[in-house]
Amino acid sequence: MKLFILKKTVKEGVSERTGNAYKISSLFVKFDEKEIYEKIVSHLQSKGATIDQVEKFSKPNEYNGQISYAFGLNCSNYTFDRVEQFGTLDANVIFDINNAGFINAKIQVVDRKEMVNSYEPPADAVDGWTGGNEDPVLPSEESTNELPF
């Protein structure tokens, strides 16, 4: 499943139930294929999820005339550290519903390895900011009359 990474988040805290500290790394991702969304919805409903639970997890969003579907994807710290915002991740994703009624999506793990098929980093890499205090870069003032005509 090809997913576009919108945001990387880390949630830290202490569990009220157990008192243990936790740190959850997740990706907020989106995809555009309606057929895939419909398959996910039918899969979750077959596991007992209601349409309200599914829409709380992910529902269609329209922006500039295009419909997309976004959701939170749990992943390992290994994957989290190696992907970047606005990159494209192709991975096997498992959708499940827990006993509390929450829907979770995570990358499939086989033999302690996440099933990531490919990753494409963002196309436009930026390596810094100007901060507004630097002069703009202007072309050199030397005129060149070396035109071929």
Task: Classify residue 92: in a domain, yes or no.
Answer: yes
Task: Classify residue 56: in a domain, yes or no.
Answer: yes
Contact residues for 132 (Cβ-Cβ < 8 A; gap 6+): none
Q: What is the pLDDT along the chain (149 residues), one digit of tens a residue?
A: 999 999 999 999 999 999 999 988 999 999 999 999 999 999 999 999 999 999 999 989 999 999 999 999 999 999 999 999 999 999 999 999 998 889 999 999 999 999 999 999 987 766 676 666 666 666 666 656 665 55
Query: Domain of 102?
Result: 2-120
pLDDT at 123: 79
137: left (phi over 0), alpha (psi -120 to 50) or beta: beta
Q: Which helix (H) or strand (E) holds 91?
A: strand 88-91
Radius of gyration of the chain (CA): 22
Angle CA 30–31–35, to nearest 5: 140
pLDDT at 43: 96
Give the global pTM. Answer: 0.76
Task: Classify residue 109: in a domain, yes or no.
Answer: yes
Task: Classify residue 125: in a domain, yes or no.
Answer: no
Task: Classify residue 91: in a domain, yes or no.
Answer: yes
Task: Classify residue 141: in a domain, yes or no.
Answer: no
Structural domain count of the chain? 1
Contact residues for 31 (Cβ-Cβ < 8 A; gap 6+): 1, 2, 3, 4, 37, 68, 69
